Chain A
Amino acid sequence: MKIYFFLILFTGIGYSQATGLSIYGVGEKIDNTDPTSLAMGNSSFFSGNSKHISNGSSSSIWRSALTRFTIHSGLNYLRMGKFPDQHQQNLTSFSLLFPVGNKKVIGLGLKPTYRTNKFIVTDEEFQFIGADESITGAPIATKNSYKIDGGISEMFLEYSRKLSPQFSGGITYSLLFGNQILNDELYTYDVLIDTSNQGGVLINEFVDNGDTLYATAVNGVMTDVNKYKKFSGSSISAEGRYFNKSHEMVLNVLIKGKTKVETTNQITVGNSTSTNSFENSATNVSSDFGFGYRYKISNYSGITVEIHNKSPINIPENAAIFNIMPPGEKSIHFASYYQIRNSKIGYWNNLNLRGGAYLKNLDFTDGVFRDVGATVGIGFEYLSNTQSVDFAMRVGKKESRLLIGEYEDYISFHIGITTGEKWFMKRRRK
C-alpha cells in the first residue's frame, strides 16, 4: 500500500492540475480535497465516517487518537460547447495529524488553494486598431497567445481539542505561497488590404463592391512577455463545534491577510531582453464564514447542511489573470450518509455511503455565476477503523465566466487514503 501513497504523492506534485476553466483571479479555488466531505455535497465540516472526522474541519480532527496520514487525489473531466474535452488531475494534498494529549491533536499539511491548469489560450481572431486610433495612422492588427501555469498552495498548522463533553474547537494557521508563470506572446502587424495577396499572414479574404480583397498582416513583431508572480500571504481560522446525541453544529471564521505579489516581467523582442520587478500588495483584510449542521437520524445515518460565505482572496488587481478579480463565494450544501457496519469481526469494519448536493454563487465584480452539483461517495474503513479508502464522484454544471452564456459541465472522481498509526499514544506499562 505504501507504494501507492508515494505514487499518488509524487505524480500529484509533478502533474499538479486544477479543475475547471477558471481563467481569472489566480485560478480555480480548491476548497476541499477530502473525498469524504466532497461526497457530502462538496462540504467541509462533515464526513459521514465512523469517527466523523473531516480533514477540512479543524474542530473534528481531535476525534482520533491515532497518528493519521491522509492523502487525496482525483481526476476531473470538463466539457463546454467550444472546448469539448478538458481533462485535469487534481493536485494531491496530504496531511499528518498526531495526538499531543488526550483529545488533543496537532496537524500539519500541504494542499493547493488556487491553481491554474497549464492553460494555453490562443487568440482565435486578429484584433484591430483602426487607423484613426493607431499611433502610426495606419491600421494595426494584433494577436496574442497566453500560457498560464501555477497558483497558490497552503501550508497549514492546526490544533484541535475537545473542550467539554459537547464542545470542541480548532484553529488553523496557514501560510500561503506559490508562483504563477504567465508566458504571453504578443504579435503586432501592419495591415495591408489589396486586391492581391501581397504575402504575410492572410487575415481574411472578403468582397467589397465586387472586388475580392485580401487583408494580410505584414511586418510582424513578436513581443515575448514572461511574467513571474510570486505570492505570499497568510490566513487564520477558528472553528467551534457543538454536538450532542442528535445534533451537531459547526461555526467557522477565517481571516485572510493581505496577499503580497512580487512580479518579475521579462520582455523579449528579437534578441533584446529586459527585466523589471515590482511588488504589489492587496490592502484589505477579508474574512470567510461557515456554518454547518448535522442531524443524526440514527447511529448509522444522518443529514447535514452547510452554508458558506467566502470573500475573494486578497490579491492586487494587477495579479489577476486577464484582469478579472477572483470571485467571492456563497454556497449551501446538503448531504446525507449511511454507514453499513460489519457486525462480524473481519477485515473491513465500515462501508460508508454518502450523497449530497450543493449550490454556489460565484460573485464576480461584473456578475454572479452559478455552480450547482451533486455528489455521491463510498468509503471503506478496515483494520479496526484505523485505515480507510474513500471515493467520491462529483457531477456539476457551472455558468462559464470564460464564455458568457455557456455552461461548463464537469464530473470529477476523487480518492483518499487514510492510515492510522499508534505512534504517539501513551501505553500503560504492565
Chain B
Amino acid sequence: MNFLTPPFNGRAVHILLLGGLALLLSCQSDPIVFNPSGGYEYNKKSFPLNNETSETIQGELHTGKSSKLYSGILSNGDTVSTLIRLLPEVLDSHQICGSDSIIDVEITLTTINPIAIKEDTTLIDTLIQFNALKTYLISTDVFEEDVVITNDIVNNINGLTIDNSIQNVELNTNSIELNLLLHDSTIIKKWCEDKENLGVVISYAPDDSSYLEFFSSNSSEVGLGPRLNLEYSIEEETSKIYNRYSFNQVSWSEGLFEGESFGPYYVEDSLSSYWGTVYAINSNENMQIIDSPPLVYDSITVQTDFISAGQNSALVTIDLDLNPENIDSISFSILNAFAFKKDDDPAGDNWDNGANIDSTEGDSTYNVGELFNDYGIDNCPDELEDGFGGCASSEEESAFNSKGTEGNGQLDWTDENVNNLWDEGEGEIWWDWGPDWCPDSLENGVGFCIADTSACNCLDTPNVELVYDPNNDNADPTGDDWHEINNLDGTEGNNQWDPGEPFYDWGLDELPMALVGYSDEFEGDSLLNWTDKNNNGTWDQGEGERWFDTGMDGTFNEDEAENYENHTEGNFIFNTGERYLDCGEGENQFNSDLNCVEDSGDNYNIDPNLDNWSATDSTSTGTEGNGFLDEGEEWFDWGLDGIQDSLEAFQVSSVISIERYDNSYIFNLDDEPLQFTPALEADTVSLWISEIQKVDNSIKIEVSVQSNINLKGLQFQLYHTPFTKVDTSLETYTPSIAQLGEDKLFEDFTLLPKKNYSDDELNEQLLIEYSNDLSTFLDFDSLNLFLENEEYIFSHQYSNLVFYIDTTTSDLHEDGMWVYLTHLDDSGEDEILITKKVTSLSDSVEISMGQILRAYQSGSIATYNGLKLKADDNLYNYSKLSIKNNPRIDVMYSQ
C-alpha cells in the first residue's frame, strides 16, 4: 500500500505536520508555585530511656593499651607512675647486640605538653617540678599490656624501685631522656645476652595536683611513643671516595705582588662544593682561606689593575699534600674560571664634561635620585640623636627610646585582675569618667564637653545637690542599670521582667501572626507568657514570649540618649578621650598632684633632636625623613644607581670568560716535573697549568695567565678525579627505635590499679570511664517499633540523643572527653556510630541521630538492640562522665 498519495505527500502538508510537531514539543508550562495540601508535615516524638534495661557496664579491659601514660597526681587525687618495659626478645634481632662498642643508650619519653623551655640547647626554665621526678631501672615480672593492673602489681613494682634511681635524666621541651648506659654500663649485655626483663619506672610526686602525660607505645602518632636511642660502633667494610690530595698553601707566583699581604684566597674545605676554588683578587681580606664560600664581590673595592694587558706570567703556585695512599697519577683540570675586566666606569654613569655631560656620577652636583642620608639638618639618624642637636656614636649613648611608655601617647595598662578598672600596679592610671574627665559628683551640669588638658564643666568640690549625670556622658544615661551594690532598684539588666519592659506578645509559638498568618492562644493578650525553664533569669528560646531587660523605660542604654557614642563614663572600658596619665607603666610614676615623676629610662622618644618631618602635620618643618635633600644632609655623588665606581668593578657586566685550552693535565707521580705550554691565543684571557712537579710528598702546581686586557681579578677551581677504596672501619650508628619490623620494642603501663565497681555502686548510675572500662548501655522505649516504619524521613538537623550531665559526680578534664555512641554489630562487636566531644563546661549533650536512625531503618546497620556510650584514650584517660537518668532521643520526622 502506498501511503504517499495525495493529499498527504504535499509539501504544505509536510511542513504543517512537522511544524505542528515542533510546536507540540516546544510548549513550556508555567511553574507551579504554591503550598500544596498533603505535602510533608513534620512530627516529633521523644523516646525516653528505659531505666529497667539501661545500665552501666564494666568491661574487662584496663589502660595497658592506652595511647597515653601518666605519672603524677591525677585530678581525682590518685597517685600514678609509669612503667616502661623493653622487650629483650625484640631487641635481640637488632644490630646493637653484635656491636663492637656501645657509646650511648638512652630512652626518650615524649610528653604531650611542654615541660621545659629551651633556647637552642640551653635549658631556660622547667615547667614541671623537676626535683619531684624520679626514674628507676628495675627487673620486672613479665606481663603484657592486656593485664589488669592490681594493687599487688603496683606494690611489687614500687618495692623494686628502692636504690635503683637513674640519675642521668635530661629535660627537653617535650621529652625526657634517660641515660641508661651511664646508670648501668652492662645494660645492652643484660638485654641482648642475659635477656633480662628490665623496666623503667617514672615517678612524679609534685606538691600540687599535677601529672606528666606521655605518649605510649600504642600511640597512633608515629614516633612519639618511647624510643630507644642508641649510639654504637661496628667494624664494617665500606666503599669511600677519597681525594688524592689536600690543599697546603696557595701563593702568588714568584715575582708577583711581592711585599703585598693580600691573597690569593682559596677554599680549603674538601667537603665544600667550592673546594679548590682560587680567587686571584684583592678583596682586602686578611685570611687567605675562605671559610664560607663563595666570596661575595659586592663590597670589594678595587683600586688598581690586577693583571695588565699583554701580561703572560705565572699567577699562583698551589702546594698540595698528597694522600698517603698508593697513588700513581692525578688528572687535573680547571673549572669555573672567569675574570673581571678593568673598566673605569663599569656602569657607564660617570660624568664627563665632554663626552658624557648628562651622566650624574662625579658631576659634583646633587641630582635628584642620588643617594643621600635623609637625617635632617643635624645629619644624624633618630637612633643616634643625643637630644641636644648633636649625634651620638651609638644608640646606647643616644636619647632615642622607642620602647619607653612615658609620653608615648597611649595608655599602657594591663588589667591584671580583670575588673575593667585601673588598680595599683597595673601600669598607667586612667579614670572611667568619660570625655569630660569629670566624675558625676563634680559635674556642674552645664552639659556635655570634651576635655583637652583639664576637666571641663567640672567643679572643684562635689555638688551637694547632686543629680544624676549632670554633664550627660554616663554609659547608663537614665541610671536604670541594675547593680548589685550601687543600684539594687535598677531594672535594666536585673534579670527579671519588670512592667514596662517590652516583649513580643506572640504567644508560645514565638512567631507573630504577621509572619505565619495566624495567631496562637496567648498571642496578643498583652501578658508576658514566659517560663524561665533554666532559671537563668533571661529569656531563652523555648521559654515562651521573648522579653527584653531594658528597664522600665523600655529602652536599652544605647537608645536612652542621643549621640550615645559620647556616653562613656562608667562603662568599665577605657575609651579614647578619657583621662589617663602618660607617665609610664612602672610603679610610682606620678605624685599626689598627679604630675609625672621625672625618672630616667621610660621616656618615649623617637626624635630626640626634634627634626623629624610629619606627614600628618601640615605645619611640620622637620627635615629628617621628608624625602628631600636639605642643607647639612650628606649626599653621595655616585650617580642615579647609587653605586660608586670602585664598587661597580665586580658587577656582572664586568665578567668575561677565560680560555682554558685542552684543560686536561695528567701527572704521573713517578715522572719528572711536567710543563705545559698551550698555543696561546693573543686576543683572549688564557689560564692554564704551566707546571706540575712532585716534591717529596707534595705536589707543586703553577697556574699561569695571559691577558689581552687589564683585569681586576679572576677566579678558578682546581679539580681532579678522586679515587674509590673499600675500607674496613668502625662505623658509628645512632638509631632511634620504637619497634623492629612489626614488633614493638616497648610495653608500657600506667601503674594505677583498676577500680572494680560493685553492683550497688553502679546501680541507678550511668557512668562512662575509659580508665576503668565503664560504659553505659542505653535502651529507649519503643524505638525499635518506631524504626520499623520504613516510610519515615528523619530530620538530620532535629533528631538528637539528648542527655544531661551530673556535674556533681562527673570529673571531666578541661580538654573534654570524647564520647562514642556504639551498638553491637552482627559479629557482636561494638561498632562506633558517631563520636561527640563533651567539654568540661557542658551540662547537656546533643548527639545527632538522624543518620543513625536512617541506617537502622534501611537495614544498613544491624537491628536496633540498644545503644552504648563509651569513652576512649584520645584525651585525658581519667575523665569520668556521669549521666543523669533521663536521656532521651528526640526525633523530628516526616513521611
A binds B: yes
Which A positions have Cβ atoms within 8 angstroms of B? 1-2, 4, 7-8, 11, 15, 21, 23-24, 75, 77, 82-89, 117, 119-125, 127-140, 142, 144, 146, 184, 186, 188, 191, 193, 203-204, 206-209, 213, 215, 219, 221, 223, 225, 263, 265, 267, 269-270, 272, 274-278, 318, 321-324, 347, 383, 402-403, 419, 421
Contact between chains at B24 and A278 (CB < 8 Å) = no
Q: How far is the CB of B43 from chain A (nearest CB, A)?
A: 9
Q: From residue A125, how far is it (CB to closest CB) to chain B in Å? A: 6
**Known contacts A123-B39, A144-B39, A89 near B514 by CB under 8 Å:** no
Question: Quick one: given A131-B541, A272-B851, A322-B37, are A206 and B857 in contact (CB under 8 Å)?
Answer: no
**Residues of chain B with a CB closer than 8 A to A4's CB:** 17
Min CB–CB distance B652 → chain A (angstroms): 57
Residues of the A chain whose Cβ atoms lie less than 8 Å from the Cβ of B895: 318
Given A11-B21, A135-B798, are A276 and B790 neighbors across the interface (CB < 8 Å)? yes
Question: Residue B319 at the A interface, CB < 8 A?
Answer: no
Considering only CB atoms, which chain B residue lies closest to A389 in the complex? Answer: B8
Closest to B855 in A: A274
The answer on a CB contact under 8 Å between A402 and B854 is no
B1 within 8 A of A: yes
Once the chains are docked, how many angstroms separate the CA of A191 from the CA of B542?
A: 12
Chain B hits for A87, CB < 8 A = 27-29
20 A–B contacts, CB within 8 A, in A order:
A1-B8, A82-B34, A87-B27, A87-B28, A123-B39, A133-B509, A135-B798, A135-B799, A137-B542, A139-B510, A140-B892, A186-B40, A188-B797, A191-B511, A193-B512, A204-B515, A206-B512, A274-B851, A275-B858, A403-B34
Distance between B889 CB and nearest chain A CB, rounded to angstroms: 11
For residue B540, which residue of chain A has the nearest CB?
A137
Most buried by B among A142, A270, A421: A142
**Are A276 and B859 closer than 8 Å at their CB atoms?**
yes
Contact B854 A11 (CB under 8 A): no
- Taking a contact as CB atoms under 8 Å apart, the answer to whether B6 and A84 are in contact is no
Closest to A322 in B: B38
Within the complex, what minimum Cβ distance (angstroms) separates B856 from chain A?
10
Contact A139 B27 (CB under 8 A): no
In the assembled complex, B289 has its CB within 8 A of some CB on chain A: no
- Between A and B, how many residue pairs show CB distances below 8 Å? 194
Query: For A193, what are the chain B residues with a Cβ–Cβ distance below 8 Å?
Result: 504, 510-512, 515
B3 within 8 A of A: yes
Give min CB distance, A197 to chain B, whole Å.
14
Candidates B39, B790, B797; contact of A219 at CB < 8 Å = B797
Q: How far is the CB of A21 from chain B (nearest CB, A)?
A: 7
Query: Given the interface contacts A188-B797, A208-B514, A223-B795, does A133 sit within 8 Å of B40 by beta carbon?
Result: no
Per-residue CB contact flags for chain B residues 811-828 toward chain A (1 = under 8 Å, else 0) read 000000000000000000
Judge whether A88 and B44 touch: CB under 8 Å: no
> Which residue among B3, B36, B799, B854 has the maximum number of chain A CB atoms within 10 Å of its CB?
B36
CB distance from A254 to the nearest CB of B (A): 28
B542, chain A: closest CB distance, angstroms: 2
A32 to B30 alpha-carbon distance, docked (Å)? 26
In the bound assembly, the distance between CA atoms of A283 and B892 in angstroms comes to 30
Please name the residue on chain B nearest to A118 by beta carbon: B29
Interface flags, B490-527, vs A, CB<8A=1, else 0:
00000000000010100111111011100010000000
B259 to chain A, nearest CB (A): 83
Q: Complex: how many Å from CA A306 to CA B35? A: 38
Q: Which of B3, B520, B791, B854 meets A318, CB within 8 Å?
A: B791
Interface 1/0 per residue, B874-893 and A, CB below 8 Å: 00000000000000001110
Interface: B860 (CB within 8 A): yes
B796 at the interface (CB under 8 A from A): yes
Residue B297 is within 8 A (CB to CB) of chain A in the complex = no
Q: Report if A140-B796 is in contact (Cβ < 8 Å); known contacts: A122-B31, A208-B504, A276-B857.
A: no
Cβ contacts under 8 Å, B34 to chain A: 82, 121, 123-124, 402-403
Q: Is B850 an interface residue (CB 8 A)?
A: yes
C-alpha spacing A321/B37, complex, angstroms: 10
Q: Is B514 touching A85 in the complex (CB atoms < 8 A)?
A: no
Q: Is B894 an interface residue (CB 8 A)?
A: yes
Are A274 and B33 in contact, CB atoms less than 8 angstroms apart? Answer: no
Contacts of A11 in B (CB 8 A): 21, 24-25
Distance to closest chain A CB from B110 (angstroms)? 36
Q: How far is the CB of A2 from chain B (nearest CB, A)?
A: 6
Residues of A within 8 A of B27 (CB): 75, 77, 87-89
| Chain B residue at minimum C-beta to C-beta distance from A75 | B24
> Given the complex, which residues of B lie within 8 Å of A265, measured CB to CB?
790-791, 793
Q: Check if B854 sits within 8 Å of A130, measured CB to CB.
A: no
Mark contacts of B295-310 with chain A using CB atoms, 8 A cut-off: 1 yes-contact digit, 0 otherwise. Answer: 0000000000000000
B786 beta carbon closer than 8 Å to chain A: no
Instruction: Determine the chain B residues whose CB is within 8 A of the CB of A121 once the complex forms.
Output: 32-34, 36
In the complex with contacts A122-B33, A276-B858, A15-B25 CB distance below 8 A: yes
Q: Are B28 and A274 in contact (CB under 8 A)?
A: no
Q: Any chain A CB within 8 A of the CB of B242? A: no
Q: How far is the CB of B28 from chain A (nearest CB, A)?
A: 7
Contact present for B511 and A128 (CB under 8 Å): yes
Nearest B residue to A85, CB-CB: B30
Give the Cβ gap from B821 to chain A, nearest Cβ, in Å: 16
Q: Does B4 contact A (CB under 8 A)?
A: yes
Chain B residues with CB below 8 A from A83, complex form? 29-30, 32
Q: A215, B515: Cβ atoms under 8 Å?
A: yes
What 16 additional pairs, Cβ within 8 angstroms, besides A82-B34, A130-B510, A225-B793? A4-B17, A8-B21, A87-B27, A123-B33, A123-B39, A124-B33, A127-B35, A130-B508, A136-B542, A188-B795, A193-B512, A221-B795, A223-B793, A223-B796, A276-B854, A318-B791
Known contacts A121-B36, A203-B515, A265-B793; is A86 also within 8 Å of B509 by CB? no
Least distance between B668 CB and chain A CB atoms (Å): 76
Question: Are B894's CB and A138's CB within 8 A?
Answer: no
Query: Is B757 in the interface zone, CB < 8 Å from A?
Result: no
User: CB-CB < 8 A to A318: which residues of B?
Assistant: 791, 895
Q: How far is the CB of A126 from chain B (nearest CB, A)?
A: 8
Closest to A86 in B: B29
Expressed in whole angstroms, the Cα–Cα distance for A322 and B33 within the complex equals: 15
Give every chain A residue within 8 A of B5 (Cβ-Cβ).
347
Per the bound structure, the CA–CA distance linking A400 and B250 in Å amounts to 108
CB contacts (< 8 Å) of B572 on chain A: these are: none
- Smallest CB separation, B38 vs chain A (Å): 3
Chain B nearest Cβ from A403, distance in angstroms: 7
Chain B 651-699 interface residues, beta-carbon cutoff 8 Å to A: none
Pairs A-B, 4 closest by C-beta atoms: A137-B542, A130-B509, A1-B3, A322-B38
Contact of A130 among B28, B520, B851 (CB under 8 A): B520
- Cα distance A121–B35 in the bound complex, in angstroms: 8
Does B42 count as interface, using CB distance less than 8 angstroms?
yes
Residues A131 and B510 in contact, CB atoms below 8 Å apart? yes
| Contact yes or no, B29 A88, CB < 8 A | yes
Instruction: List residues of chain B with CB within 8 A of the CB of A219.
Output: 797
B833-866 residues with Cβ-Cβ distance < 8 A to A are 850-851, 854-855, 857-860
Closest CB-CB distance, A130 to chain B, in whole Å?
2
Knowing A269-B851, A274-B851 touch, does A132 contact B790 (C-beta < 8 A)?
no
Instruction: With A128-B515, A265-B793, A278-B790 as known contacts, state yes or no: A142 contacts B42, CB within 8 Å.
Output: yes
Least distance between B409 CB and chain A CB atoms (Å): 36
**Complex CA–CA separation, A265 to B44 (angstroms):** 20
Distance between Cα atoms of A120 and B30 in the complex (Å): 10
CA distance A314 to B250 in the complex (A): 109
A407 vs B721: C-alpha distance when bound (angstroms): 102
Taken together as a complex, chains A and B put the C-alpha atoms of A11 and B23 apart, in Å, by 12
CB neighbours of A207 from chain B (8 A): 514
**Binary interface encoding of chain B residues 789-805 relative to chain A, with 1 for a CB under 8 A from any of its CBs, else 0:** 01101011111000000
Contact partners of B512 in chain A: CB under 8 A: 193, 206, 208, 213
The distance from the CB of B692 to the nearest CB of chain A, in whole angstroms, is 75
> Within the complex, what minimum Cβ distance (angstroms) separates B96 from chain A?
50
Residues of B within 8 A of A123 (CB): 33-35, 39
* Distance of A84 Cα from B542 Cα, bound (Å): 43
